[in-house]
Amino acid sequence: MRLSLLLIVATALASCQPTSDPAQTTKTPVTPSPGDWTMSMRLDSVDLIQRIIISENDLILFHNAEEIIETEMLLQGDTVYIEMPVYHTHFIGQLTDSVTITGNWYNQHRSPDYSIPFEMVKNATISRPNWSDAREDRFAVRFSPDTEDEYPAVGVIQQSGERLKGTFLTETGDYRFLEGSISSDQANLQCFDGSHVFHFSMQMTADSLIGGTFRSGTHWSENFVAAKNSSYTLTNPDSLTYQVTDGPITFSAMDMSGEIKTFNTADYEGKVTIIQLFGTWCPNCLDESKYYAELSESINDERLQIIPVAFERSEDFDTNALQLKQYQEELALPFQPYLGGKASKSKANEVFPMLNHVMSFPTSIFIDQNGEVQRIHTGFYGPGSLPEYEAFKSSTEALVLELLGQEEV
* Beta sheet of 304-312, edge-to-edge order: 260-264, 250-254, 338-342, 304-312, 272-278, 363-367, 373-378
**pLDDT string in tens for the chain (409-residue length):** 444 444 445 444 444 444 445 444 455 678 999 999 999 999 988 999 999 999 988 899 999 999 999 999 999 999 999 999 889 899 999 999 999 999 999 998 888 899 999 999 998 777 777 888 889 999 999 999 999 999 999 999 999 999 999 999 999 999 999 999 999 999 999 999 999 999 999 999 999 999 999 999 999 999 999 999 999 999 999 999 999 999 999 999 999 999 999 999 999 999 999 999 999 999 999 999 999 999 999 999 999 999 999 999 988 999 999 999 999 999 999 999 999 999 999 999 999 999 999 999 999 999 999 999 999 999 999 999 989 999 999 999 999 999 999 865 5
Tens digit of pLDDT for each residue in 335-373? 999 999 999 999 999 999 999 999 999 999 999 999 999
Q: What is the pLDDT of residue 249?
A: 95
Tens digit of pLDDT for each residue in 28-75? 678 999 999 999 999 988 999 999 999 988 899 999 999 999 999 999
Which of 199, 236, 239, 193 lies closest to 381, judged by CA?
236
Q: How far apart are CA 367 and CA 376, in angstroms?
A: 9
Q: What is the pLDDT of residue 23?
A: 47
Q: Which CATH number fits domain 250-404: 3.40.30.10, 3.40.50.720, 3.40.50.880, 3.40.1010.10?
A: 3.40.30.10
Burial readout 183-210 (b: 16 or more C-beta within 10 A, e: otherwise) = eeeebbbbbbbbbbbbbbbbebeeebbe
Q: What is the pLDDT of residue 8?
A: 43
Question: pTM of the prediction?
Answer: 0.89
Q: Tell me if residue 285 falls in helix, strand or coil.
A: helix
Instruction: Name the residue ranges covered by the structural domains of the chain.
Output: 30-234, 250-404
Size of the chain, expressed as the number of residues it contains: 409
CA quadruple 98, 102, 105, 106: dihedral positive or negative? negative
- Taking phi over 0 as left and psi of -120 to 50 as alpha, with beta for the rest, 196 belongs to beta
Q: What is the pLDDT of residue 27?
A: 57
